[in-house]
Structure 1
């Protein structure tokens, strides 16, 4: 290397020695020009300019891009039943045909911006030369034609807006391309539909609505001149903020119309003295029937379009989604109705209009978190003085209080068989609450997490009839702490079955089950079943739902239960088509992944039926009249901060959450704060509407028939053989004694708790002294119910015998279709009963 450096320096010195005379000679010729040299220089300039223009062509929009802009169409989002959910526009714009735009607009535009529009081919050389001369003399003027302005509007990134020669050349090249592909009327139409007019109004139609509250087809001469005048400088000639300037500019436009024969002088004299008469109203894009769903879909579709070289704003994509517009409407109505009712309760509890007078300490905490308080502290004020200054602003206090105490709610429904999302409501009102609580908000799920604990227990071999003693529970934690879960009532010291523990949401029993199966196993199972994005802390209190999750995850996991243990990833789109209806991509449901054994899922569903038939969610039937085979779970977290309810059906899983954005705020009611009274009515109202509209079939049932194992099958065959061998002779049915008349009730044997209206136990017949007896024949029933028979439905007699010591019921237990149970036990879901957080 050391040898190479001297050689390199020597070569460089030799090269400079050769170049220096050439540079010196060129400089001499510049100082002493000849006629021939001047002629060559003048001839070279156009050539160099032409070469520069040719070099810039690849850096301007291509012919294909310009053709696409000519027929630009935003992506259209359709529901599964063909209803329009949204259009993905790059801006707030509504395209209108040139024939639907007032001729006054066209006349004002051409007279002011480009009066030789129909004579040139993209560049007005006379105007460009005039503008250049004025600019060189210090009076800068614009010389762009309408076509050049359109080029800037369509391709701001490729062309730019810097006042440089390169930008003007790019603009001119693009204008020539546009003129080659567009007719003059198409250029006018595209320009008028893409030009910005402030206040998120793009195009003449939105401008007409914003400033004059009318359509573009209805604009008169004065209104058209006002809008055309804004094009020179939207902000400077803003008729809302600068009416005097706008009026002067409008009259200048009218003068130009007179100059080029678009308006008579007499008409001008009459019009120039009139006022602006602005009727201003900001235009907002309608949110559509499923705005939060559309918001999430836009992100997904943008990524898909980038991977496949499509533009969601201009390629006319048609996206067919899984949303059912009818179910979506029902969900929105249910959320709005219940949210408004709970808001009235929150307003009374917090006295929101009085500035949260119900809790001054918490209000002071809220005020300390405002930018106004921080600004006051930065001026050197003490905490007390800064707080007094902020609290003296009544408008600020009221605003903070109302925002903090605004009730939030969300809802999600999906088909558990395919993972297709049917309804998605991210908040009570998208315009006020654009934050999507379904997918973005993570909250403690409370007792809605308990099914994962019991699923792990059933997978490990536990039975619904297994019992734990209701006793004080103390579980040591890392660091020497002790977790003591509690319920609303004191420990009873009696044995409670797993079936009853889940139906009535017993915390102490669930904690013992969690201790038995282990937090790590429960966390792994919950992740496998659908809680895949949120972090689950594998600690004992996880049993009561202390790790925050999203509603989408919970509904997805409950879908795994409803799908008999098969997890299906939630999907939003079924297929994507181009503007001509050609299918670009199809998205079939992903195959189910068996994350929970089917028999375990069947057992869990059977136990969760009791939640809605006699447990904490029983008002689903008693109040809302939901029919058919459904199961579910309520959830309430510590201090009633979060209310949950999720209902499963073979065709649909639906869940709702209710709370506040700030978990320090609650409804301050042990009744309304429960998930059974805050979130359940949303799901109940939705399901009730869906069943009445026959969008959910109430006759479809879960396939919860347990397949008998090898030993059970052999035992059943042996039992049948013995029954046939020792059966009574035909024609001699057993005689049953039925009593009539006055009777006294005989002591009955203990029977299992009623589960869906179970039948009477054997041996409970009354006996009466001296009563008339009637002998009636009856066929002898089998000694034991066959596996999977009706006797085991809805927590049937076999489980009942294990729990209560009674005999198997002979009559089949009525199903949920047959009996609507009374509303009992719903109060057990109060904060401590469901307790999503440790106490």
Structure 2
């Protein structure tokens, strides 16, 4: 039978006819589907004009004083780069692994796409691969995918193919690679190669090694599955697959593969999560300030800036290297102090034994309030809060998952000491280090900007400053003896310490302040007068309304740590207080200046040069021979340092103010619950609770030559008049007749004028 006849006979068979009809229907279906997608039946496709002005959300970057990245504000963690910023081996790794014919096709690799349709769609072979090109992936990254019933995968693939071809018509291959690298998602909710490089290797993408580039490209196959932070071994295997692909396509010699594939995964993970990473309290404070600043500034087109999307650059005063040292010093000291604090109470700790304290804490808890509003009784709420479950809790030894109840958790956090620390440049107020608490994940309350605590003896220098400024001589002597002030409820201030003091001994101002003598501070305060002291404090930039009572001399006033630091800066800034500030300038993503900020320095002098020099000499004595002498004796610091310790009533707050010529540092330590103080003065005094953070911080600064401008700075020699006026015996004893006829304890009225 001739071939033509055989063919005709074959085509006339029913099953052949139906097969061709079926194939035709399928072809027509796909053609119709394609054109319906093209015409917008499944949603409007971006036009070439739309694609020409692609605008991606970009993270706002927070930079330190050396332009190091310390944080970001974002919805999607993305930082764009230019093509020139990508190392060649990074591009080669991507092309070799994701799209070997990238430079040959027009956005769609028809061979690969055909394979997907046949294997994935018709044969349901999930191992067939995606058949995707870099351009197709870019289309998916830019516009995402939508869910469609039955033919969803086909619709999305067609849409991406149309968009990919339009992208190829508009952009060069280099532009496409740039868009891809700036938008592709990496592990840990990270978008763009620059953000990924910063997060996983703490470096810019342009500095990625071949191994690092291959590792990050390898994660694109499955972000979570190949997350190097979570799955190191499988990530290493995937990295080596990428390296093998580079060899296969002649981007890498075999001998290099033999060496590189043996390397371990070495991450330098640097999270930019809002709750973790360096200086989280500082970054949160900067964010709050930025929100207010941007509310008052519009773009050229009169639209508002978006902190999370517009890719701004925020330059700050913080020194991230100093900040790390400060955080290390704080953690080192608080770890030991917390252990001693708990041990001092033993079994009689207030967070366990004081039922009233615990109940008050429970009633303040948000869950208690919610359940109360729902109508549950107190006992029902307690029963609910007593149910145990797995909870992650903070510990200095390392965070742990514990099976505890909400009440157990509240007891745990009741016992934890907290801290605040701020270091600024005294001449500008530029913030160099900022610690608002022990761990931002668990303690959102900022003890630098939000908290107000009694400042204790750190207030005394202000009293003595007012005294000297109003004519009191440094060698004025005051008796140690106690005085009862009958017009203030017979208040009798006493000195800390257990030993009985000789009431016939008299101290100079220097001796009294350097040893933080309470009885003399109140006498000096009485001599100067409440109005003059309060006026002096206002000149120092402290805006808090102060209590007009004698106990103010001992620091009963609750003052913000930031204001206290700015006030102390005046002793190093020719009598001018400063306002600590964090932001220096803000730029848009193109580098155009949006806003710039200058130091806020109090224009008027709070006191004379003479007063400044006298006070500095007195506060130097505090460090050399007074309450802060352990800086020399225990910690071996030889820097030029002036300072003041502070401890409040019942040992609730410990303070230390450290002054060096180019840095003012204030530290505070205490419990967030005002009902809980240190068990003893020996443990809770500022010299023991707060001073060691400063000491350890300066030990670390001294070990690093980068900070020589701070650590090796020296105070100017005081004027000869100051030296002469301080040249007297620090103490003297009353004569025989005065001891014979004088009264040890006096009763008098405190001046009210």
- The TM-score with structure 1 as length reference comes to 0.56
* Counterpart position of 2:579: 569
Q: Is residue 477 of structure 2 the alignment partner of residue 467 of structure 1?
A: yes
* Counterpart position of 2:457: 447
Q: Is residue 72 of structure 2 the alignment partner of residue 87 of structure 1?
A: yes
Once the two structures are TM-superposed, the CA of residue 482 in structure 1 deviates from its matched residue by: 5.4
CA 548–215 in structure 1, closer or farther in 2 if over 3 Å, else same: farther
The aligned runs of 1:622-637 (5 Å cut-off) are: 622-637=633-648
* Counterpart position of 1:330: 325
SS of aligned partner of 1:476: helix
| More displaced stretch, 373-382 vs 656-665 | 373-382
Once the two structures are TM-superposed, the CA of residue 571 in structure 1 deviates from its matched residue by: 2.9
Once the two structures are TM-superposed, the CA of residue 678 in structure 1 deviates from its matched residue by: 0.4
Q: Deviations over 1:298-331 (max 9, x none)?
A: 3334444452635555555444432233322221
Aligned equivalents of 2:511, 2:384: Cα separation in 1: 56
* Counterpart position of 2:629: 618
CA 455–100 in structure 1, closer or farther in 2 if over 3 Å, else same: farther
Aligned equivalents of 2:714, 2:315: Cα separation in 1: 27
8 Å contact from structure 1 (residues 66, 178) kept in 2 = no
* Counterpart position of 1:217: 217
CA 549–195 in structure 1, closer or farther in 2 if over 3 Å, else same: farther
Q: Is residue 408 of structure 2 the alignment partner of residue 395 of structure 1?
A: no
Once the two structures are TM-superposed, the CA of residue 675 in structure 1 deviates from its matched residue by: 0.9
CA 197–359 in structure 1, closer or farther in 2 if over 3 Å, else same: farther
SS of aligned partner of 2:662: coil
* Counterpart position of 2:710: 696
Structure 1 residue runs without a partner (length 5+): 1-56, 108-115, 120-144, 155-173, 228-281, 707-786, 807-839
Q: Is residue 102 of structure 2 the alignment partner of residue 78 of structure 1?
A: no
Aligned equivalents of 1:445, 1:677: Cα separation in 2: 16
Aligned equivalents of 1:636, 1:65: Cα separation in 2: 65
1:285 to 267, 272, 282: 272
Q: Is residue 690 of structure 2 the alignment partner of residue 705 of structure 1?
A: no
Q: Deviations over 1:426-459 (max 9, x none)?
A: 2223333343221122211111111111111111
Aligned equivalents of 1:336, 1:65: Cα separation in 2: 51
CA 77–497 in structure 1, closer or farther in 2 if over 3 Å, else same: same
8 Å contact from structure 2 (residues 187, 223) kept in 1 = no
SS of aligned partner of 1:671: helix
| More displaced stretch, 449-458 vs 666-675 | 666-675
Once the two structures are TM-superposed, the CA of residue 542 in structure 1 deviates from its matched residue by: 2.2
The aligned runs of 1:581-620 (5 Å cut-off) are: 587-590=597-600, 593=603, 594-620=605-631
* Counterpart position of 1:499: 510
Q: Is residue 558 of structure 2 the alignment partner of residue 548 of structure 1?
A: yes
8 Å contact from structure 1 (residues 316, 579) kept in 2 = yes
Q: Is residue 341 of structure 2 the alignment partner of residue 346 of structure 1?
A: yes
* Counterpart position of 2:361: 366
Aligned equivalents of 1:102, 1:459: Cα separation in 2: 71
CA 335–359 in structure 1, closer or farther in 2 if over 3 Å, else same: same
SS of aligned partner of 1:439: coil
SS of aligned partner of 2:520: helix
8 Å contact from structure 1 (residues 531, 554) kept in 2 = yes
The aligned runs of 1:741-756 (5 Å cut-off) are: none
Q: Deviations over 1:649-692 (max 9, x none)?
A: 22111110111222222332332111110000011112233234
The aligned runs of 1:45-444 (5 Å cut-off) are: 66=53, 68-69=55-56, 73-92=58-77, 217-218=217-218, 223=222, 285-286=272-273, 287-306=276-295, 307=297, 309=299, 312-313=307-308, 316-349=311-344, 356-371=351-366, 373=368, 387=382, 390=385, 395-396=404-405, 397-444=407-454
CA 179–454 in structure 1, closer or farther in 2 if over 3 Å, else same: farther
Larger Rg: 1
Once the two structures are TM-superposed, the CA of residue 510 in structure 1 deviates from its matched residue by: 1.9
The aligned runs of 1:479-518 (5 Å cut-off) are: 483-488=491-496, 492-494=502-504, 495-518=506-529
- The TM-score with structure 2 as length reference comes to 0.62
* Counterpart position of 2:727: 796
CA 412–364 in structure 1, closer or farther in 2 if over 3 Å, else same: same
* Counterpart position of 2:695: 684
8 Å contact from structure 1 (residues 647, 654) kept in 2 = yes
Aligned equivalents of 2:94, 2:530: Cα separation in 1: 71
The aligned runs of 1:11-26 (5 Å cut-off) are: none
Q: Deviations over 1:27-61 (max 9, x none)?
A: xxxxxxxxxxxxxxxxxxxxxxxxxxxxxx9xx9x
Aligned equivalents of 1:467, 1:549: Cα separation in 2: 30
Aligned equivalents of 1:334, 1:431: Cα separation in 2: 19
* Counterpart position of 2:26: none
Structure 2 residue runs without a partner (length 5+): 1-45, 100-105, 110-135, 146-162, 201-213, 227-268, 300-304, 389-402, 736-753
8 Å contact from structure 1 (residues 151, 175) kept in 2 = no
Aligned equivalents of 1:547, 1:301: Cα separation in 2: 30
Aligned equivalents of 2:442, 2:549: Cα separation in 1: 37
CA 324–103 in structure 1, closer or farther in 2 if over 3 Å, else same: closer
* Counterpart position of 2:653: 642
8 Å contact from structure 2 (residues 270, 277) kept in 1 = no
Aligned equivalents of 1:224, 1:687: Cα separation in 2: 42
CA 704–637 in structure 1, closer or farther in 2 if over 3 Å, else same: same
CA 545–93 in structure 1, closer or farther in 2 if over 3 Å, else same: same
| RMSD between aligned residues | 5.2
* Counterpart position of 1:456: 466
CA 616–187 in structure 1, closer or farther in 2 if over 3 Å, else same: same
Q: Deviations over 1:194-251 (max 9, x none)?
A: 69999967689999x99xxx96632587x58999xxxxxxxxxxxxxxxxxxxxxxxx
* Counterpart position of 1:759: none
Q: Is residue 673 of structure 2 the alignment partner of residue 662 of structure 1?
A: yes
Q: Deviations over 1:464-517 (max 9, x none)?
A: 22233422232635xxx5544332366754344332321222223222332333
